[in-house]
Structure 1
Amino acid sequence: MTAAARARRSTLRQRARAHRDARRPHSLASHLLARGANPSDASGVADALHSKAKTLGITGRRSLVCKTSTAKLPKRAPKRPCTRYTDRQFLTLLTAYNPRAARFVAIRAHILAA
């Protein structure tokens, strides 16, 4: 296999992984982290979006998770419940969200502009 063929296959693998990950539902914090928010701001905005989801009646898919948005839990830690939202649900919540803090306003504007 030539170097050019390896490079093409690597690019194809990366593109397929990106498309596959985009289709999967994620937690609200991981949606924010993937779009460039720092972990402390992502958790704050995610908490506000959870409240907005309750008022709008948007329910995500329940699942169990073994790690937090910032780091993994200890090896034998019990799984914690987590709610995962699709990309469309996340963007719906973000458009309905009206933050007051300047840093949260900037995060919302950055994500909606992209």
Structure 2
Amino acid sequence: MNTKARAARHALRQRTRAHRDARRPHTLASHLLARGANPSDASCVAGALRGKAMALGVTGHRTLVCKTSAGKLPKRAPKRPCVRYTDRQFLMLLTAYNPRADRFRNLRTRLLSI
């Protein structure tokens, strides 16, 4: 197999994975982490967005998770319940979010500009 075909197949595989991951629902913290927020800010903002979701009546898809924003759970630990949101729901919550702290305001404007 020549290198051009291998490189083209690799690029196609990466593009397919990126599109598939974009369609899948994620937790609020993982949405923030994927967009470049640091873990401590992601967990703080995710908590605020969960409250905003309850106020707006946005319900995500309830499921179980093995990984948290702090890392993977131990191997034999039971899975933890979580709620996953689509990109559209996440952006709707982010636009309704009105932070007070400057670092969260800056994070919100940076995320909305992406």
TM-score bracket for this pair, using the shorter chain length:
over 0.9
Q: What secondary structure is seen at the aligned counterpart in 1 of 2:72? A: coil
Secondary structure of 2:67's counterpart equals coil
Counterparts in 2 of 1:22-101, with a 5 A limit?
A: 22-101=22-101
Match of 1:21 in 2: 21
TM-score by length of 2: 0.99
Deviation (angstroms), 1:69: 1.2
Task: Give the aligned length.
Answer: 114
Cα displacement (A) at 1:65: 0.5
C-alpha separation in 2, matches of 1:12 and 1:67 = 27
CA shift, 1:66, in A, is: 1.2
Letter in 2 for 1:46: A
Percent identity, aligned pairs only, is 74
Shift of 1:74: 0.9
Query: Which shifted more, 66-75 or 51-60?
Result: 66-75
CA-based RMSD: 0.5
- Alpha-carbon distance, 1:70 to partner: 2.3
SS in 2 for 1:88: helix
> Which runs of 5 or more structure 2 residues have no equivalent in the other structure?
none
Q: Structure 1 stretches of 5 or more lacking a match?
A: none
